[in-house]
Amino acid sequence: MFKKLIEESTGKSPWLFHINAGSCNGCDIELVSVLTPRYDAERLGFKLAGSPRHADIVVVTGPITQQSLPRVLRSIEQVPDPKCIVTMGSCPQSGNVFRGSYSVAGPLSKYVHVDVDVAGCTPKPEAVIDGLYLATQILQEKRKGMKK
């Protein structure tokens, strides 16, 4: 009985948890604009979660700073499996203009497996929605792999 309930509950719409790892807020504003009525990603099932323990997809923005790195990794660990990690913008992928700075720990992919990279500085809302859709597809494949 419980196994069936768990399988049905994992088929829900993906919830997003946003982590700002020291960004300039450009990507954060674009993520918020995706959720507003103009682009309305919530109609596609995406919803922001208030806690990493309730999320399915983690969206990371900003260069990964030395100070934010332990917090980012701890938050990602709290997301239940299967999870999907999305980097948004050039900063978490390469460091962008902050690359080589004493305070930047480097790209997120040095520390955890990143499933989807949404490129751009700042990425357009359409690209963000496309990246989230791709993350949803990857998440579904991971869920199917867990059921076997």
What is the Cα–Cα distance from 42 to 47, expressed in whole angstroms? 6
Which is more confident, 8 or 93?
93
pTM to 2 decimals? 0.84
Quick one: residue 100, left, alpha or beta (phi over 0 = left, psi -120 to 50 = alpha)? left
Q: What is the model's pLDDT at position 86?
A: 92
Whether the pLDDT of residue 5 is over 80: the answer is no
User: In sequence order, what are the residues at sequence separation of 6 or more whose Cβ sits closer than 8 angstroms to the Cβ of residue 137?
Assistant: none
pLDDT over 80 (residue 9): no
Q: Chain-wide mean pLDDT for the chain?
A: 83
CATH architecture of structural domain 13-147: 3-Layer(aba) Sandwich (3.40)
> Domain extents for the chain?
13-147
Q: What is the pLDDT of residues 104-116, one digit of tens each?
A: 887 888 899 999 9
Q: E strands, the chain, where? A: 15-20, 47-48, 57-61, 64-65, 84-88, 104-106, 116-118
